[in-house]
Structure 1
Amino acid sequence: MSLKRVVITGIGVVSPFGNGVAELVRGMEEGRSAVRFMEGWDRYNGLQSLVAAPVEMRGEKDIPRQKRRSMGRMSIFAAQAADEALADAGICLADENLWRVGCVIGSTMGSAKSINDTFETMLPDRDLSRLNSTMFFQCMSHTVTANVAQYLGLNGTVMATSAACASALHALGVGYDLIRLGRQEVLLCGGAEELHPTVTGSFDILFATSTKYNENPQKTPRPFDRDRDGLVCGEGSGILVLEEYERAVARNARIYAELTGFCTTANGLHVSQSNRDSMVTCMRQAIEEAGLAPEGIDYINAHATATIQGDQEEAEAIRELFGPAVPVSCIKGYIGHTLGAAGSIELAAALKMMEQGVIYPTHNLETVSQECAGIGHVMQPLKKQIRSILKNGFAFGGINAALVCTKI
């Protein structure tokens, strides 16, 4: 059986810079940081990291209340990003066979705020009668993809991926397979995440968060930098329209890029520590599936969470495969680590860089750490023709993902 080709025809984003892809790009162009001190978080005993990159909720009431009642923040973000992605792709669902249109959207878990509120409501007196019926739908692990499907009236494949920071790339990889196998024609793929003190706290207790910049929040996170001290959580959603190539050409769609390679691997060694060797294997296999050699990659959008060990392992893996020849940057210095949404928001940014012929630098990278040296760090805007992108995503649990997009 011959596999079908898969292309990206639409992009939608809700990020800490605001609603829309244009706001994300503008924030990077202007070299801004969306990270700020979080008022009220200091009430949580033991929480050391008090900075994050929140989204200002806008336009949520444009979603009908009947649909919105079952949505937490993350589902609202995804619904808004999905609307933008469909409009960008020029797809009107009223004209589609909705049995051939679906969505695959990942997150680390259900709505963090809704989960917290549920237990705060129920546990003092162990009184389940205080809970309303919509709270479950906000808390369930597939809340985002289910709510987006209900909001849009989709009848095709609806799946949720949950692999921490690799969730969105896993969603894109699943979508890639579903379309090239002919099971679906159009898929909305990506991830969504929301902020809550308990989310940052889960990283805090692992000593993975940035704690030294609470009084100077816009100086963190610092991917690959000598003075990095951990990640900063963000929130939002990135949704991409994946479409079968012949169908996209037939309707004269604008094509951002073709998805040509994907790989996911596990290191099987440690639940929280990254591993260079498994990263190398993951990147190499994705590149080989794309029919490329390492020198055929024009830009690497790194995972680069600004943790001490994670950045070192990723830099060493990139150095082994690519040396200093390929430009490398990441966008977490601008908007923080959006966790389950990171892969798709960051890929959206990379696709806009491909379109514009410019690579935005790694924000807050001022002095490259010695253990992260030897790769092509982008520290100033770089004009470059980009024909191929490698997007990395490396998650707790020892889960790696790498995806290759090629310009047609």
Structure 2
Amino acid sequence: MERRVVITGGAAITPIGSTREAIVRSLTEGLSGVRRMKDDDLLVPHIHCKVFGTVSDPPVFDFVRRDRKTMGPVAYYACQVAKETLAQSGLSDDFIQSGRLGVAFGSTHGSPTVQRDIYRTFFSDDNTKLHNVGAVDYLKSMVHTTAVNITKMFGIRGRVISSSTACTTSSQSIGFGYEAVKYGLQDAMLCGGADEYDTTTVAVFDNLLACSTDFNDTPQLTPRPFDKKRDGLVVGEGAGCVLLEDLDAAKKRGAKILGEVIGFSCYNNGGDLILPNREGIALAIEQGLANARIAATDVDWISAHATATKMGDVTEAQSIAAVYGNRPFVSGLKSYMGHTMGSCGAIETLIALYQMADGFIAPTLNLETVDERCAMLNHVTRLMEAPIHIASIQNFAFGGVNTCLFVKKFSG
């Protein structure tokens, strides 16, 4: 028997705030979290893009040494949002450690900062430094470091899923967690993603001519999803987490329900690993609607992937129009914080919940003149008071991975 899956906790660390209040304030006041890149003596002089979506007010981490010793920066982010999410959910320690709670959490690379330190040591001419690299360095840097550090910190014994599909990492995490609860494989799942500040990621996109470079002196004016003057994406850092739970169990324990996950799809383009594909994106949207058992006309608002690349935005706009026409409102949330990579799907899901609860829709920041090739959509260009009953969160990744999540305002 299929179970209904609700969200009973959530937290985020983002370039526009690390609390619900700060994030909503940034969205409603049009505040950008994109800033000049930090000097890191590694790649900054060699890349053209000089901006980054930077977390300026990280929380104070009060983890005990036993937990800290296996954490790199990305795991700090992941464990902090997991901690806040579990606290908000009100789950008991007995349940958390019972095996009935699982974790679906990932990142793009693990911890690149730690990886670089390891490589520097290995390739150093000073062999006496090799003893400085130990087992904990691998635990800090490995690609599933976020998920396993979460399980270690909280004693979680359920299943572990650690997606690492770049931009779809945390949307996959939520989707796979949704399926695990829906079909009774776990009673609850802690889901999300994180990525730390990392200039090597900027270098990759910069080398592909996909990064924004025209606004290095005015970072708050980029990225510009769907805008005629957009010139590429802006890499960002952050973390997002949600607690998914069986509805009956949530009701029984009197949990506050933030929203309901009603559908998920994950489809691949089956071809080019870099270029977006209209048919692949449209298929993911259509199959997501089918999984949610809703019609296209039921969706009120779409959180578009909208990275502000030249062709990516056009292809996504065409795909949305092919399925939805121009009825749902569309916003590109990366305009506020850049592309937070492995965490973007979870952060954008949380923002969807905040908007549902507060009755507003944030506009796409920096969207001044809509590109005529993207003009067929119902773009949100100013802050709106409007109800959202059903929202779609779209994310697409290198490798041709396309995901769609559907969340609904909970009504009993």
Provide the TM-score with structure 2 as the length reference: 0.95
- How far 1:20 moved relative to its partner? 2.2
Shift of 1:393: 0.5
Q: Which moved more, 1:120-129 or 1:343-352?
A: 120-129
Aligned to 1:330: 332
1:2-401 paired onto structure 2 within 5 Å: 2-40=1-39, 44=43, 45-56=45-56, 58-94=58-94, 96-125=96-125, 127=127, 128-401=130-403
Contact 2:16 2:22 in 1 (8 A): yes
The answer (yes or no) to whether the contact 1:122–1:130 under 8 Å persists in 2 is: no
- Equivalents in 2 of 1:194, 1:172: separation in Å? 20
Aligned partners of 2:280, 2:339: CA distance in 1, in Å?
Answer: 22
Report % sequence identity. Answer: 38
Query: What is the count of residue pairs matched by the alignment?
Result: 407
Conserved? CA contact 1:103–1:145, under 8 Å: yes
Distance change (3 Å), C-alpha of 1:58 and 1:339: closer
Over aligned residues, Cα RMSD in angstroms?
1.5
Provide closer, same or farther for how the CA distance between residues 96 and 122 of structure 1 changes in structure 2, counting only shifts above 3 A: closer
CA distance in 2, matches of 1:148, 1:386: 32
SS in 1 for 2:166: coil
Partners of 2:169 and 2:343 within 8 A in 1: yes
The one-character-per-residue Cα deviations of 1:280-323 (angstroms, maximum 9, x if unpaired) are 11011111111111101011011100111111110110111112
Alpha-carbon distance in 2 for matches of 1:145, 1:95: 18
1:192-212 Cα distance to aligned partner (Å, 9 max, x none): 111211111111111111111
Contact 1:167 1:341 in 2 (8 A): yes
Residues in 1 aligned to 2:14 and 2:375: alpha-carbon distance in whole angstroms: 30
CA distance 1:123–1:42, shift in 2 (3 Å): closer
Give, in angstroms, the shift of residue 407 of structure 1. Answer: 2.0
Query: Measured at CA, do residues 362 and 42 of structure 1 come closer, stay the same or move farther in structure 2, by a change above 3 Å?
Result: farther
Does the Cα contact within 8 Å between 1:11 and 1:21 map onto a contact in 2?
no
Question: How far does residue 129 in structure 1 lie from its aligned partner after superposition?
Answer: 2.4
**4+ residue runs of structure 1 moved beyond 6 angstroms?**
none
CA distance in structure 1 between the aligned counterparts of 2:369 and 2:174, rounded to whole angstroms: 33
Distance 1:98 1:113 in 2: 34
Identify the range of structure 1 (274-283 vs 77-86) with the bigger mean alpha-carbon deviation: 77-86
The one-letter amino acid paired with 1:107 is S
CA distance in 2, matches of 1:26, 1:152: 31
**Structure 1 counterpart of 2:113, which letter?**
K
User: AA paired with 1:98?
Assistant: S
Contact 1:295 1:322 in 2 (8 A): yes
Segments of structure 1 that go 5 or more residues without pairing to the other structure are none
C-alpha distance in structure 1 between counterparts of 2:189 and 2:150, whole Å: 12
Q: Does 42-51 or 255-264 show the bigger shift? A: 42-51
Runs of at least 5 residues in structure 2 that lack an aligned partner in the other structure? none
- Offset, 1:60: 4.4
- SS at structure 2 position matched to 1:19: coil
**Is the CA contact (8 Å cut-off) linking 1:234 and 1:336 kept in structure 2?**
yes
2:8/2:255 contact within 8 Å kept: yes
Tell me how far apart the structure 1 counterparts of residues 343 and 195 of structure 2 sit (CA, whole Å): 6
